[in-house]
Chain A
Amino acid sequence: MNTGEESAGRTMLVAVGVALFCSAMVTVAVHLLRPVQAAYAAVERNRAIVEAAGLASADASDDTVVSDFLSLDAEVIELGTGAVVEGVDGYSFDHWAAGGDTVPPEVPIYLRHESGRLVRVVLPVDGRGMWSTIHAYLALEADLNTVAAFVVYEHGETPGIGDRIQNPQWLSLWPGKRLRNAGGDLIFDVSDDPSVPAEYRVDTITGATVSSRAVGRLVRAWLGEDGYARALTALARREGMTP
C-alpha cells in the first residue's frame, strides 16, 4: 500500500489518470457493442410487430420473425391527412428514433393481408407511463374497430410493479374489445369505472394503476383525431370497406 508522501498534485494526477483510463475503456466498449445491441433491438421490435399481427409467437426464432415481418405490408402514413406517403420504406422507417414527446407527422403502420383481404392492422403507439415512455403496438381486426392484440415493445416502468403492463394475463384481456360505439364515439379505455361497458373496457392492474391507466390514455390519444382517426378512415376506404 502507498504510505509515502502525498502531494495534492500527485493525487490529482492519479485521479485524472484513472478517470481517463476508465472513460476510455467504457467508451471503446460501448462504441464496439452498440451495433450488436441495435441489431438485437431491431429484431425485438419486429418480434413485437409480428406478434401483434398474430403471426409468430414470442419465442419464435429471429429468422422466422424477420421473414414474418417482411410478409406484412408496411406503409408510412401522414397522420394529418391519413394518406400514404409514397417513396418511403415502411419496413425501416423509425418515427421513434428522434424521441421527444410530440406526435410525429408521419408514422409507419403494418398491414396483414391474407389472399388479398386485410386481416389485421398494427399501429405503433407510445406515450408517457409513470417514469418512462411506453412503446407498444396495437393490432386491430379488419373492421378497424376491434382490438386484436396489444403488445408492449419497450418501457421503463418499475420492475416487478409497473412492468405488469407486460403481463400476458392482462394483455389477454385486450383482444375482442371494441373501440367506438355505433355513433362513432371513442369509448375504449383502460379503467376500473364500471360505467364504461365491459366490451369497451380493459381493467386497470391492481398495483400498477398508474402505468396501466397511462397505457389506456396513450391508446385513446393515438386513436383520436390527432392520432390514427383519419388514417383508419382512409385505410377503410382504400381496402374497400365501409368504416
Chain B
Amino acid sequence: MSLVRYVTEPLVSENPITVQILGLCSALAVSRSMEPALIMAVSVISVLVFSNLMVSLLRHVLPNSIRLILEVTLIASAVIVVDETLKAYAPGISEVLSVFVGLIITNCIILGRAEAFALRHGPLESVADALGNGFGYAIILIGVAAIRELLGAGTLFDHPVLPLVEAGGWFRTNHMMLYAPSAFFLIGFLIWAIRSLLPRQAEVREYPPVRAGYRETSS
C-alpha cells in the first residue's frame, strides 16, 4: 500500500470514529464549538504522530511483557507536553478543553494505532497512518462541531452566521445542540449515512435475534 493510501484510507472508508467507533468520548465532549474542536484535533494529531513514530522506531526493542506500559508512558509524556504548550500559548482554549486534553492519553485511537499498526510497520508508514487517522478524527470532530455551533449558537468560530431572533433575525437557537447528547445523535446519523452510501462498512449480524420481542440487554 502506498504512503498516500495510508493517509487517505482512514478519512472515510476506514475512519476511526465512524467505522471503528473509537475516540468517541472526546468527540462528544469537545465538539460543541469550532475553536476548541480544532485545537483538540491538532493536539490529537500531534500525539498520534509522536506515539506512532516512537512505537514504530522502538518496535524491535520493546519487550513484550511491558510493551503496553511503555507505549502508554510515551503517549502520556506527549500529552503532557501538548497540554503545557496549550496552557502557554492558547490558555483560553486550554481552560475550555480542561481535562479533555489530559484524557487524550486514554483516547482509544492512539493506543489502537500504536498496537495495530506502528508495532508492525516502519516509521514512515506509521507517521502516514497517524496523519491519516488523525485527519479522520479531525474531520468528524470539526464537522460535528460545525453543525453543533451553527445550530446551537448560530455562529462559526464565534462569528455570527445565522441572524438570531434575539437580534431581530429569524434563527432560533437549538439548545440541545450545546449538550453532549446531540453529538451522539449527529455521529449516529453520520454513521448511518456513511454506511448507507458504503454498504461494505455495515457489519454482518453476528447472531440472529433470539425471538421476537426479546431485547438483548447485555452487550
- A residues near B (Cβ < 8 Å) are 1-3, 6, 10-11, 14-15, 18-19, 22-23, 25-26, 29-30, 33, 36-37, 40, 44, 159
Q: Is the CB of B74 within 8 A of A37?
A: no
Q: For the complex, what is the distance from the CA of A185 to the CA of B168, rounded to whole Å? A: 51
Question: B84 near A: Cβ within 8 Å?
Answer: yes
Q: Which of B59-76 contact A (CB under 8 A)?
A: 59-67, 69-70, 73-74, 76
B89: nearest chain-A partner, CB-CB:
A36
Q: What residues on B are CB-neighbors of A10 within 8 Å?
A: 63
Q: Is the CB of A14 within 8 A of B63?
A: yes
Interface size class of B (residues with CB under 8 A): 20 to 34
A18: nearest chain-B partner, CB-CB:
B70
Q: Is the CB of B84 within 8 A of A29?
A: yes
Q: Is the CB of A29 within 8 A of B63?
A: no
Q: Is the CB of A26 within 8 A of B62?
A: no
A36-B62 contact in complex given A14-B70, A159-B99, C-beta closer than 8 Å: no
Interface of B, helix, strand, loop or mixed by DSSP: helix
Question: B87 near A: Cβ within 8 Å?
Answer: yes
Q: Is the CB of B70 within 8 A of A15?
A: yes
State which of A11, A30, A33 has its C-beta within 8 Å of the C-beta of B63: A11
- B residues near A (Cβ < 8 Å) are 58-67, 69-70, 73-74, 76-78, 80-81, 84-85, 87-89, 91, 98-99, 119-120
State which of A14, A40, A44 has its C-beta within 8 Å of the C-beta of B88: A40
Q: What residues on A are CB-neighbors of B62 within 8 Å?
A: 2, 14
A2-B120 contact in complex given A15-B70, A22-B77, C-beta closer than 8 Å: no
A159-B85 contact in complex given A15-B70, A19-B73, C-beta closer than 8 Å: no
Tell me how far the C-beta of B111 lies from the nearest C-beta in chain A, rounded to whole angstroms. 15
12 contacts between A and B (CB under 8 A): A6-B63, A6-B65, A10-B63, A14-B70, A15-B63, A18-B73, A26-B81, A29-B80, A33-B87, A37-B84, A37-B87, A40-B88
Q: For the complex, what is the distance from the CA of A10 to the CA of B63, rounded to whole Å? A: 8
Q: What residues on A are CB-neighbors of B69 within 8 Å?
A: 15
Q: For the complex, what is the distance from the CA of A2 to the CA of B76, rounded to whole Å? A: 22
Q: For the complex, what is the distance from the CA of A159 to the CA of B102, rounded to whole Å? A: 14
Q: Is the CB of B64 within 8 A of A2?
A: yes
Q: Is the CB of B63 within 8 A of A2?
A: yes
State which of B61, B73, B78, B87 has its C-beta within 8 Å of the C-beta of A2: B61
Which 4 A-B pairs have CB atoms at the shortest separation, nearest pair first? A22-B77, A36-B88, A11-B63, A33-B88
Q: For the complex, what is the distance from the CA of A3 to the CA of B64, rounded to whole Å? A: 8
Q: Is the CB of A18 within 8 A of B58?
A: yes
Q: For the complex, what is the distance from the CA of A33 to the CA of B89, rounded to whole Å? A: 9
Q: Is the CB of A22 within 8 A of B73?
A: yes
Q: What residues on A are CB-neighbors of B81 within 8 Å?
A: 25-26, 29
Q: What residues on B are CB-neighbors of A2 within 8 Å?
A: 59-64, 67
Q: For the complex, what is the distance from the CA of A36 to the CA of B85, rounded to whole Å? A: 9
Q: Is the CB of B88 within 8 A of A159?
A: no
Q: For the complex, what is the distance from the CA of A14 to the CA of B57, rounded to whole Å? A: 13
Q: What residues on B are CB-neighbors of A30 within 8 Å?
A: 80, 84
Tell me how far the C-beta of B125 lies from the nearest C-beta in chain A, rounded to whole angstroms. 15
Q: What residues on B are CB-neighbors of A23 within 8 Å?
A: 77
Q: What residues on A are CB-neighbors of B119 within 8 Å?
A: 1
Q: For the complex, what is the distance from the CA of A180 to the CA of B114, rounded to whole Å? A: 63
Q: For the complex, what is the distance from the CA of A191 to the CA of B70, rounded to whole Å? A: 51
A6: nearest chain-B partner, CB-CB:
B63
B71: nearest chain-A partner, CB-CB:
A18
Q: For the complex, what is the distance from the CA of A2 to the CA of B66, rounded to whole Å? A: 12
A28: nearest chain-B partner, CB-CB:
B81
State which of A14, A37, A40, A44 has its C-beta within 8 Å of the C-beta of B61: A14
Q: What residues on B are CB-neighbors of A1 within 8 Å?
A: 59, 64, 119-120
- Best-surrounded residue of A15, A44, A159 (most CB of chain B within 10 A): A15
B80: nearest chain-A partner, CB-CB:
A26
A7: nearest chain-B partner, CB-CB:
B63
Q: What residues on B are CB-neighbors of A33 within 8 Å?
A: 84-85, 87-88
Tell me how far the C-beta of A35 lies from the nearest C-beta in chain B, rounded to whole angstroms. 9
B62: nearest chain-A partner, CB-CB:
A2
B90: nearest chain-A partner, CB-CB:
A40
